Amino acid sequence: MTLENFVIENGTIITPFEELDNKNGEITKVEINENGTIDFVGLKEDNEENRKKYGRYIRINAEGKVIIPGLIDTHVHLNYEFEKRDIKGKKNIIDDIKEKIKNKSIDFSKQGVTGFILGTMAMPSIELEYMLEAIRDEMGVDNHSKLLGALIEGSFINPSMAGAMNQAYLGIQPEFYFNGLIGDFKDTIKKIVFAPEMDSSYYDFIEKTNEKGIVSSLGHSNATYDEAKKIFNIIKVINHYPQRLSGFHHRNVGIVNYVDDYDFNRVVHLETIIDNKHSDKNFIEGLVKNLKGKVKNWGEVLMLITDAINIIALSEKELDPKTGKEYEIKKINGEKIYFIDGAPYLDSDKKILCGSVLTMDNAIKNMFSWFNNPLDRIEIIKSATSTVAEVHNEDKIGSLKKGKYADLTIFNKIENENNYNIGDVECTMVKGKIKYKSHSFSNRVKGGKT
């Protein structure tokens, strides 16, 4: 409990189903009760009665700011280094992972992220178990940003589409997981990535995971067009589309061809990394245009993710004999990561990306700069908030609505000639508690007991 009531006033609110601004003498307000849930979102008169009521509240003046539901990143990696596990012992490793999760949650709150799902990689089963135990322990803990669960990525994928995944740990039989780890961590695992063409038993496994409320995701797959038809009847999400999927081709038609043709009568959601590295701006513009021709609300199909990797290793400089250039590199579990033009690669030729260094606030900024009109702004916010919450069965977050948790993010508003963009994160609130505020924003928070 916050033991405080809040009212946030005067900002532009994107709920994300409508956009609200002060109008006709009425002022935008978000009222938050002491239990950390929302009591009211909308417009109210600035009259004596309301001023008296809000005298008991902590008042936040959001004039010149944009208020949205808290950003949710459902695909991000911790990249814990396990090389010393035999020395550390299980308990120390799990405690160490939990400490890194806590530290990462602080970073997320500064980026406007109020909830996140941690992805695993292709790894030995014992390391996966350690990760899941640590994630289970940290779920529900009052950190800066809430850990919502785990994404299993890497165990059931196609080696030909492995990308940065370690191929030594691919192809584990699904029954081992279903009878073992999934049984032990059924409330921890939120999503699993599959390449169903690898094994006919994967289809049955996907159906079982769907029944348990675990999100099934198609990814790192070389499925054919006809296989994609079958998969789209049971899958819920396409993993970091269109990366590591059978591409658009005039002879070897695959998943990307099928998505281009798909009418989305059964909604399959597309994760996308909006860093202008994984997909060119022109590709994203074409994708949105395609979706607009097929669905009423494209933000209910697209889901913004970062697929970011947590790099804590020290930087080194290395001279590449092939190019004669010096590159910044870091090492994760002995693997070299080249940082070139603001993106991480496994090679200096920039052929294989290794996740990203994108943050959710920058993903939103990029989308605002590419699709900046009132209708598209609402869809952009959906794609990072309400849509991802709904897909991952999180019914108390994702929108600014009476009864929902007060998970929200306040951005600086950058006005231009006929429109506006968003700037830096000014404040992040999780369940009615301020988890981050910029130095300049502190002056806008007044009253109450704190």
Whole-angstrom distance, CA of residue 225 vs CA of residue 251 = 11
Q: Could you tell me if 135 and 180 are in contact, meaning their C-beta atoms sit under 8 angstroms apart?
A: no
Quick: pLDDT tens for 312-326.
Answer: 555 677 777 777 788
Q: How far is CA 378 from CA 69, 384, 386, 399, in A?
A: 11, 10, 11, 11
Q: Is the dihedral of CA 408, 411, 415, 418 positive or negative?
A: negative
**Residue matched to tokens 């709920």:** 15
Q: What is the mean pLDDT of residues 6-12?
A: 96
Residue 420 structure tokens:
């506006």
**Sequence-ordered list of residues with C-beta below 8 angstroms from that of 41, at least 6 positions apart, any chain:** 13, 15, 20, 29, 30, 31, 400, 401, 402
Residue 395 confidence (pLDDT): 96
CA angle, corner 277, sides to 281 and 168, nearest 5? 140
Whole-angstrom distance, CA of residue 154 vs CA of residue 287 = 26
For the chain, which domains are there? 6-70+399-446 (2.30.40.10), 71-309+355-363 (3.20.20.140)
**Residue matched to tokens 């390449």:** 195
Residue 450 confidence (pLDDT): 42
Where does the pLDDT of residue 200 fall: very low under 50, low under 70, confident under 90, or very high at 90 and above? confident
Whole-model pTM? 0.92
Q: How far is CA 310 from CA 11, 59, 107, 428, in A?
A: 33, 36, 11, 21
Quick: pLDDT tens for 271-318.
Answer: 999 998 888 899 999 999 999 999 999 999 999 999 988 755 556 777
Quick: pLDDT tens for 207-264.
Answer: 988 988 999 999 989 988 899 999 999 999 999 998 888 877 666 678 899 899 999 9
